Structure 1
């Protein structure tokens, strides 16, 4: 508060409060506080709305992939092959045909034994070759061996050799533990009970003597053996072929974001380089960065004793390293392309989409998911995961195809990065020209103003001389 002293009185003059930092409340009414609050709320509310939309659109994709997963089990094929041709074969086939037809059940198919020229040994090869998900084989001569055992009251009869159930856990350990193993073994109790009842009725009076000498031939003449051809026996592999894929994408995102900040926000080199030189930098940098990061990422698994030599020997680690490098390029170059347009402000929203699109198709088999998820066969996660399973567990070898899909993603990014960068460069050049034009206009106006001031000064000096002369 200030005062002005007069001859007879003092007059008070109010001074506005100083706009000092660290001194305001959230709801202060002064202009600066209201403007700051409005500037704060605008991006926060906008981001909240966008996240809300992401939850209901992008995240819904993952929820949808797991919503009715059991309703798609009928898309998975199981084979039943009767190499016996006797009563055991017909009983087992009947049980499995009673356990198919619903959407929540595996589609069982009876395959003639004649389609396996190599005999029973060809069936597990078909399972490993992923021609079917699971299979049941009734051993050749199983009914005859049982009849011979009954006739001789053989106490050493092996009832589990009659039927073999074939599974392949390493193809998809989640599907195997959730439903494949259950549906593979599920019909067998019915077959065992039905066959035991049928046999006891056929034995008649001989059943009493067999119960005393070889009770198994009466009470349990039929059993089975479950063979898991490729068990998921590397626990740390979960961190390699599923969760590790998410980490691979996150690492690619961090590298792409750091590359953008160094190129645009810190050094400004993107505005100094010619367009072709800028593209060279944009390609060389991520290829080099991902080459090293994929190496140390692969070494991490090697440190924890992941056996990369099961399928391809010592070359397995190198193949996995190249697979990780290709995967990082397929994932990271897409981020490199999109961050050009979206900038760091909006690229996290694309990252969420990119993660969900990939993760939704690798937990369960794509075949059992709704039809829209068939795109999964072309995703980087699916192909890196499939090739990794081949390296670690020796599943069906489609490594060449998997690399081909990853190369296709890399190729797409090699097209989109120059395209998007060209659009941005065009805007930058336009903005620069506009700025330069404004600067030139300002300089012209300044020059004209100075010239005008000079003319005025000259005229004034002339007038003064004339007055002096007079």
Structure 2
């Protein structure tokens, strides 16, 4: 404690800062640019993004309203820069058919012009029916549980932005035409006035979320919670590494590998159970789709997720050591998050790598268990187990 920083005796120590301070800062800055560029890039609209599909069906056969809506949507479909691709499906015969398309993830939404929409309005005007419900003219179906961010940002607003003006314009035209047709018929006008909504708002739309993202707590299960799960997995590796160094030095290679395999998988099984119980404690439902078995399935999904993200880290650190652990952990989190939190249709095609990464399949599996979305659990478990096996092989090879 006898020198100032710029004393000549401190020169060797100042030079050592290049290796111990400036080089790590440079690498950290470089990693920041790489990782944040990957994540922010997943949020930027791209020319390679695909429009999201919404199915339109006219069940108002022969009605002016149905024909008018279809004609207006066809015009809107030709506009450049649409984020929605309207598909006209004449094979749909009922609401259940449209529900099936959405649940099976063949379309993001469905707009149905209900049967006899025009005829029901005209009958209400002719008979003076005051219980006419204009909101039954069009039914808009979607499933926010498939991906609440995509649906609430890229499906519902664009669909409403197209359909609502069409409804408003057709309503004005219909009321104007009707009033002109009875201008000299006082009795018909008095009868029509018994149904004021038939003149003021003759058409409307009802929106129905058929598979709603109705559990706010599940945001953790299907998004941010997985980041925590990965960091906990990293902590487990550090604990197991200490025990491995303590015991492994006294074991033969075969026994050491068996010990590492059993200890890692057992730790993931226990921590996976703990993570599942935390979700259950905060009200995340697990019995909607598979009954009481949903808890066990979700537990196994979380266990496989920890194996899929943990064992590849363990294998890499076995080879390169813990010096670079912090850098790889940041990169591993970012590449998993960027390819999983949003929908591939609205991201640049580069991010389709997410189909092969653990987070995407963990999130998709969790949505199936919690909300009852389309079942991809076979594929989800298959990919997660593959990553686990690859990680184990890496551990064996590195050891």
Same structural fold, with TM-score higher than 0.5 when normalized by the shorter chain: yes
CA deviation map 1:243-268 (0-9, x unaligned): 1010111011111122224434xx2x
Structure 1 position 333 matched with structure 2 position 333? no
Match of 1:295 in 2: 273
| Contact kept in structure 2, 1:358 and 1:379, CA below 8 Å | yes
Give me the whole-angstrom Cα distance separating, in 1, the residues matched to 2:209 and 2:141.
Answer: 6
SS at 2:321's partner residue? helix
1:235 counterpart SS class: coil
| Structure 1 equivalent of residue 7 of structure 2 | 28
SS in 2 for 1:108: strand
Are residue 237 (structure 1) and residue 214 (structure 2) matched?
no
**C-alpha distance 102-261 of structure 1, shift in aligned 2 (>3 A):** farther
**Any idea what the Cα deviations from partners look like across 1:414-460, whole Å, max 9, x if unmatched?**
22222222xxxxxxxxxxxxxxxxxxxxxxxxxxxxxxxxxxxxxxx
Instruction: Please point out which of 148, 151, 163 is paired with 1:188.
Output: 163
1:131, distance to aligned residue in structure 2 (A):
1.0
Aligned to 1:160: 135
Q: Is the 8 A contact 2:83 2:158 kept in 1?
A: yes
C-alpha deviations, 1:156-177, integer Å up to 9, x for none? 2111112100011111111122
**Greater CA radius of gyration, 1 or 2?**
1
* Cα distance in 2, alignment partners of residues 322 and 248 from structure 1: 14
What root-mean-square deviation, in Å, do the aligned CA atoms of Structure 1 and Structure 2 show?
A: 2.0
Task: Name the structure, 1 or 2, with higher relative contact order (CA <8 Å, separation 6+).
Answer: 2
CA contact (8 A) 1:74 1:102 kept: no
Please say if residues 256 and 332 of structure 1, whose CA atoms lie closer than 8 Å, have aligned partners that are also in contact. yes
82, 86, 92: which one pairs with 2:58? 82
- The 8 Å contact of residues 52 and 155 in structure 2, kept in 1 or not, is answered as no
Q: Deviations over 1:82-109 (max 9, x none)?
A: 1122222112223333333433421111
2:44–2:347 contact (8 Å) kept in structure 1:
no
Residue 11 (structure 1) aligns with: none
**1:12-27 to 2 correspondence within 5 Å?**
22-27=1-6
Change in 2 beyond 3 A, CA 1:135/1:370: same
- Partners of 1:96 and 1:146 in 2: how far apart? 21
Aligned to 2:186: none
Counterpart contact for 1:72–1:104, Cα < 8 Å: no
Is the deviation greater in 209-218 or in 411-420? 209-218
Q: Which of the residues 210, 214, 220 maps onto 2:201?
A: 220
- Stretch moving more, 40-49 or 204-213: 204-213
- Give the gaps of 5 or more residues in structure 1: 1-21, 422-470
* Matching of residues 113-132 of structure 1 within 5 Å: 115-116=91-92, 119-132=94-107
Q: How does 1:207-286 map to 2 (within 5 A)?
A: 208-209=189-190, 212-264=193-245, 267=246, 269-286=247-264
Distance in 2 (alpha carbons) for counterparts of 1:341 and 1:25 = 41
Cα gap change, 1:400 to 1:339, in 2 (>3 Å): same
Match of 1:145 in 2: 120
Assess if the C-alpha contact under 8 Å between 2:248 and 2:256 holds in 1: yes
